[in-house]
Amino acid sequence: MTELDPIIDRLVRPIADWPEPGVTFRDITPLLGDPVAYDAVIDGLVTLAQAAGPVDAVLGIEARGFLFGPSIALRLGVGFVPVRKAGKLPSESLSTSYDLEYGSATMEMHVDAVTAGSRVLVVDDVLATGGTLLAAADLVSQAGATVAGNLVLIELLALGGRARLGDTGCGTLRTY
- Residues serving a catalytic function are 64, 101
Q: What is the 3-state secondary structure (H, E, C) of the chain?
A: CCCCHHHHHHHCEEEECCCCCCCEEEECHHHHCCHHHHHHHHHHHHHHHHHCCCCCEEEEECCHHHHCHHHHHHHHCCEEEEEEECCCCCCCEEEEEEEECCEEEEEEEECCCCCCCCEEEEEEEEECCCHHHHHHHHHHHHCCCEEEEEEEEEECHHHCHHHHCHHHCCEEEEEC
